[in-house]
Amino acid sequence: MFCFQCQETAKNQGCTVRGVCGKPEETADLQDLLIYVCKGIAIYGETLNAAGALDPTAAHFICRALFTTITNVAWDDDVIIDRIREGLAVRDAVKAKAGSAVSGELPDCATWASEDKAAIMAKALSDEVRITADTNDDVRSLRWLLVIGCKGIAAYAEHAAVLGHEKNEIYAFLMEALASTTKTLSVDDMIGLVMKAGETAVTTMALLDEANTAAYGHPEITEVNIGVGKNPGILISGHDLKDMEELLRQTDGTGVDVYTHGEMLPANYYPAFKKYSHFVGNYGGSWWHQNKDFESFNGAILLTTNCLIPIKGDNTYKDRLFTTGVVNYPGAAHIADRTDGGAKDFSPIIERAKKCVPPTEIETGKIVGGFAHHQVLALADKVVDAVKSGAIKRFVVMAGCDGRMKSRSYFTEVAENLPKDTVILTAGCAKYRYNKLNLGDIGGIPRVLDAGQCNDSYSLAVIALKLKEVFGLDDINDLPISYDIAWYEQKAVAVLLALLSLGVKGIRLGPTLPAFLSPTVAGVLVDKFDIKPVGTVADDIAAMMAGK
């Protein structure tokens, strides 16, 4: 195997034996093969797109397949093999539609096929499907920066599609991008596609924002309970709000309470979910605490998307663990996809929850969130006045991911040591590093404004663009805003590319720069966008307060 898609990759170079995430070599190799098959689909799909005949089945498959390969999503090799078989059938169908429009010598990803499990496994182990098959470091770096960004775009597009919101331009770009990795392109052309990925990420996050708010209303400033009730419960983690909606509806009146975990915390901010009295609040912290949190929760657990980590040590919750959507885990029960026009059937997890004891209380109190763009813009006059009066000297965007590395204490220490006239704008699970700290407020404006999930980083961009307009500035970089971003997985890369496409410069990125950036490509990003690694807490705070 060779995998360097996440921040924790071994020695910040690449996992070659077993993933730091716990991913076995065979699983990693099968995921590489699934991407390889998607590239073959894209070669034919790009031709259909050019003729104005985008294939929706192929587009949906590519989104779900790329989502499957995001860190901490898919752990069951048999499920991944079935998806490879499905992908080959999709490729054949698209190939038939493209007909003679695709000619000439085709790459292996467009022609290889087998239904046999042993042959699929052998292909997954072959050199041609490895990331390292690209021998030129800069070509490999740009191709995989593009693919990794596409994984994040695909995940967000999948969430939007579940709620009935789609844009063909997003699907067309994913096919263009994947097909491009099979071609010999100039460095400038490859960089152009990476920047186009950023533009597409903005489009996709805007679409998902529209889908979420149309279905569930605009997030509201909300105090979220972090204690527990007296009933047995279901703990729902991940990002899929449609699953949240259906679970709340089906548990209503059953005597089973519902709690959020990790990236599902922002579900507490949506008005549509507040009508359910059995929606208790949030339990635990970010994804990497789940071995401990899931064990003490005592009830049933539902994983709707990433991040699911392997069950370790003496943990006993496997028989209480349920997956759904693209997520899978060997031995865990799986809730099947909804049929067209129907809902998922959550009765198995509800019945399992009824047999459980209530959660063990691990903390008490409340945390505040719900500061998405609609809510913050409603407070725009108050925010602008605070800036003009000097009460707020600077905003620091600390969005992104959390992770296990001890060096991530940097983000907690930054939050603790920022001057009291600064406001932190956040989204994603990075907030768990500081959202339970008592940092106070500025004239009633909390010093930590949580916009929501990682995809709600779009809200932070909208807020910045609105402030640019209000203050009459020509350049977004003239705002009193600094960016100190934590990353872990591929959706954070899509968010980063989105910020770059909006012209944001001077982003600090940590706790390490991505291993998939070659020195040359990293140099381009530094020269063009002034991306920099995080440094010491004191030095970075001083630089940010000086606007550097």
Rounded to an integer, the average pLDDT of 485-494 is: 96
CATH class of segment(s) 10-199: mainly alpha
CA distance 226 to 282: 5
Amino acid (1-letter code) at residue 428: G
CA distances to 108, 376, 456, 463 from 395, rounded to whole Å, are: 50, 13, 17, 11
Q: Is the pLDDT of residue 132 over 90?
A: no
Burial class (CB in 10 A: 0-12, 13-18, 19+), 315: middle
**pLDDT value for 442:** 95
Tens digits of residue pLDDT in 285-323: 999 999 999 999 999 999 999 999 999 988 899 999 999
| Cβ–Cβ < 8 Å for 156, 495 | no
- Quote the strand ranges of 472-530, DSSP E: 481-486, 508-510
**pLDDT value for 133:** 81
**pLDDT value for 146:** 97
Cβ count near 140 (within 10 Å): 18
Tens digits of residue pLDDT in 209-243: 999 999 999 999 999 999 999 999 999 999 999 99
Tens digits of residue pLDDT in 510-532: 999 999 999 999 999 999 999 99
**pLDDT value for 247:** 98
**pLDDT value for 134:** 80
Amino acid (1-letter code) at residue 516: F
Rounded to an integer, the average pLDDT of 270-282 is: 98
**pLDDT value for 131:** 83
CA distance 140 to 144: 6
Q: Is the pLDDT of residue 459 over 90?
A: yes
Tens digits of residue pLDDT in 66-105: 999 999 999 999 999 999 999 999 999 999 999 888 888 9
Q: Fold for domain 222-354?
A: Rossmann fold (3.40.50)
| Cβ–Cβ < 8 Å for 492, 401 | yes
Q: Residue for token digits 């009459």?
A: 472
CATH class of segment(s) 388-545: alpha beta
DSSP state of 438: -
pLDDT class for 49, splitting at 50, 70, 90? very high
Say whether 388-545 and 222-354 share the same fold. yes
Q: Is the pLDDT of residue 172 over 90?
A: yes
Q: Record the pTM.
A: 0.96
| Cβ–Cβ < 8 Å for 237, 290 | yes
**pLDDT value for 189:** 96
Q: Residue for token digits 């991913």?
A: 23
pLDDT greater at residue 133 or residue 301: 301
Residue ranges covered by each domain of the chain: 10-199, 222-354, 388-545
**pLDDT value for 104:** 85
Tens digits of residue pLDDT in 247-268: 999 999 999 999 999 999 999 9
**pLDDT value for 313:** 87
Rounded to an integer, the average pLDDT of 163-171 is: 97
Q: What percent of the chain has pLDDT above 70? A: 100
- Mean pLDDT, the chain, rounded, equals 96
